[in-house]
Structure 1
């Protein structure tokens, strides 16, 4: 140990004169992110727009296309990814210095606080710094390996979790923003676009979910609610419009029962909409 290191509080922890003053966890995060080609943060300024359903189906569709995918659920207070993928009750393997993500299939690995809670009834009552610490740990300590995509599912709003996610990953992270067509949702989601601009991250695209109603018998999409609000917002803000997903009873049922609609291989309006949304995302890996 050099004289300069003798009084350092990190002495003996593996720190060297060359790395003195660096945060070991920052170095682990940098190393982890260096093995991931594309980072996409799925977010929305409004709750109840189906954001987690969209995130889970994007991840599954990419995995079915042969890509290596990680899905990180950073919704601390309402982690829904385990249920959406029929992984509720699963526990990750934890070693002293790393956590193995839960395998959904050979191409998709998942991590969520929902895997670590003793009971699904437990409320998580945490302030911002603790939530930020968890997100950092899920990036630094989870053994993600080499990935084509890391998809992060954030809670609604522009608070601690989406801010921490974008800040930890850095400017290379791109956002996929989900809205429903109604004006009350579009007003809140507009703030998500501004949020990304202010923190310095690009918006990859915008998805309009629950756009029209897909009849389960004939497949016809009827605009019983409003439609086009998300597409109008995309034009207004200069953001790419990825597509609109109809309100489909099968999507709601698939979420409750834990089988992603993207896995069914159906030929209907919802499946075709997801296919169009996936195309530009797949192009990122080419």
Structure 2
């Protein structure tokens, strides 16, 4: 007597003319491999999602680094924290990661120009001996950087942390004990750019003024300790920062955009004896309501016309109006 063979569920369905369930069955009597051949468009979206998912988790240019949960962009020297999406840069001086600032475009315009004028002082300054000394002094040099971001890019520096527009104007004079103007004019722009590129966070007014003063010191260090006779005005977005070394003076005047030509506010500064640099800062709150005039002067002059010196702003105003 033979025992009947027990059939599996699949074998029973096969004997009844059915079909065998498999991993490629969609539950509606259709095999997935056949459906994919007949209607491939149904599977394109799923394949795109599978391919796009890894790309979204790693932005272009970023690669895994030694810190878990962080990515690093070698070209821009920027770190990305995946959990927060925040970007950081590494401060070599402080030996720590700091938040990366992204500069903004401000609704202001930056224009600059330069003009050299003979001595305007009177009295002893107008004597024959003084005139002879003036002839021996080298002519002042003017440095104009109309686009700091463009200049930094040419030197492979990243200035995206500074607001736009950004520019600089420098006046370099000569003195018997100071650095030659030609040498200062060659080295000062790069020294200033490197100082501004060294910190990629949020800059305060004091830090911007300190960057100019440090650039002066860097120039002197490269010229055997000869200090430059220079004044610099730096514009970064809505902020204007000016610095003057001994032998120079700066004047910042705020003028209304329309109406009276008289300044509504002004600030003048020159280093005191023993002071390496004098700085002044001003912010343009509303560019449509006011404009700033910044004048840089080099040579022997007083604080204003009242003490036997020269009113610097009044002296340069006709030239700026041309």
Q: Same fold (TM over 0.5)?
A: no
Q: TM-score, normalised by structure 1?
A: 0.29
> More strand by proportion, 1 or 2?
2
Instruction: Identify the structure with bigger relative contact order (alpha carbons < 8 Å, sequence gap 6+).
Output: 1
Based on CA coordinates, which of the two structures has the bigger radius of gyration?
2
Q: TM-score, normalised by structure 2?
A: 0.27
> More helix by proportion, 1 or 2?
1
